Homo-oligomer: A and B are copies of this chain.
């Protein structure tokens, strides 16, 4: 083994960006170390289904080392990168030790952020990881349980009120699914509290939900949500959140379950590179996704701030995959003595699902809504799931939910005190 001579590529993060960078280096004359603090790649577009008890964690996650087992030049390491020493070309690991690199791909993504109101985190959990999803599931299911045990009408009402903050795709998915659970899934199972009296609110500070889509689709999405029983409140900013309620300007909504889908902030590792970051902490990369002044470092996915065709590239899964693959191509080019090219985002359109049989899709000239958009959404999401078994099981679960309105993962694990 002449390890010293083989260039070492360290990839931090096993999401779409990092995993596609690793795959893009298959057969390249490098050794790759992929580091993630989790042992799995997560199919984030279906994470809201785990939070709302429609799918189990393993349905949408697969061990990174299993995905990459046949790629001989990759070593997977479950660890957390605490610091990047860009000048010394090394990363410091949480389990101890440093790892030297010749090339670094940073793909650590984003977390939800509370616009400086970190005290809200405890009362309004966000949704980025499987642990987040299980914590949200626990809160939602436990709220109905507590309502059933509550004899005071006002207190019961607060347990049956759900406020989702943020009208982006995640907020829309959560609110739509919550309404379905309350109206259909839990029907006839409670004796004292009627879940169909639950109030599900979706609060958006901007003028419309799904603001990344054309106005006509936003309006259609709002109508579909309202048909499912969701109260949509646009143009209303949240001013306070505590254990028993949410305040919108002067109005207080008594609720025991607030969910946060309003803002994200990029991983803190981006700030360690010594280059400019935007307000959300994203690294302003060069057109080829490298870091200005550090041609050996690439930043991809939600952590990167880059424009394509004059427009900022959105923080969505296809963009992260394309950036990861681009970084791999750039490293290959540089190793071969060629120049890198500028990243160009191939935008295949936008999709958002709303609930049972309802979605909106913007595919450029074609705009879909309702059932057609939902089928399209379903097809795309099952197609892109990793592994045949996952696709089969998720399809069965979906068919089952469709016919029975049941959500099989209505199982509370962990305790409210779990730091998840």
- Scan residues 142-161 of chain A and give those whose CB is less than 8 A from a CB of chain B: 142, 145-146, 148-149
A61 touches B418 (CB 8 A): no
Q: Which residues of B sit under 8 angstroms from A342, Cβ to Cβ?
A: none
A238 within 8 Å of B by Cβ? no
A148 touches B77 (CB 8 A): yes
A419 touches B415 (CB 8 A): yes
Q: Which residues of B sit under 8 angstroms from A392, Cβ to Cβ?
A: 396
Q: Which residue of B lies closest to A191 (CB)?
A: B75
A108 within 8 Å of B by Cβ? no
B406 touches A40 (CB 8 A): no
A417 within 8 Å of B by Cβ? yes
B412 touches A39 (CB 8 A): yes
- Name the one of B390, B408, B415, B419 contacting A58, with C-beta atoms under 8 angstroms: B408
- Scan residues 138-196 of chain A and give those whose CB is less than 8 A from a CB of chain B: 141-142, 145-146, 148-149, 188-192
- Scan residues 185-214 of chain A and give those whose CB is less than 8 A from a CB of chain B: 188-192
Q: Which residues of B sit under 8 angstroms from A70, Cβ to Cβ?
A: 188
29 contacts between A and B (CB under 8 A): A38-B412, A39-B142, A39-B412, A40-B410, A40-B411, A53-B58, A56-B56, A56-B57, A56-B58, A57-B413, A58-B409, A63-B410, A65-B190, A66-B410, A69-B189, A76-B148, A77-B145, A78-B145, A78-B149, A130-B413, A131-B413, A134-B413, A389-B406, A393-B393, A393-B397, A393-B408, A414-B418, A414-B420, A417-B419
Q: Which residues of A contact B (CB under 8 A)?
A: 38-40, 53, 56-59, 61-63, 65-66, 69-70, 75-79, 95, 130-131, 134, 141-142, 145-146, 148-149, 188-192, 389-390, 392-393, 396-397, 400, 406, 408-415, 417-420
Smallest CB-CB A-B distances: 9 pairs:
A56-B56, A78-B145, A58-B409, A65-B189, A75-B191, A69-B189, A61-B411, A418-B418, A63-B410
> Given known contacts A40-B411, A389-B406, what 17 new A-B pairs fall within 8 Å (CB)?
A38-B412, A39-B142, A56-B58, A56-B409, A58-B409, A58-B411, A62-B411, A63-B189, A63-B410, A65-B190, A69-B188, A75-B191, A78-B148, A95-B146, A131-B413, A393-B396, A418-B418
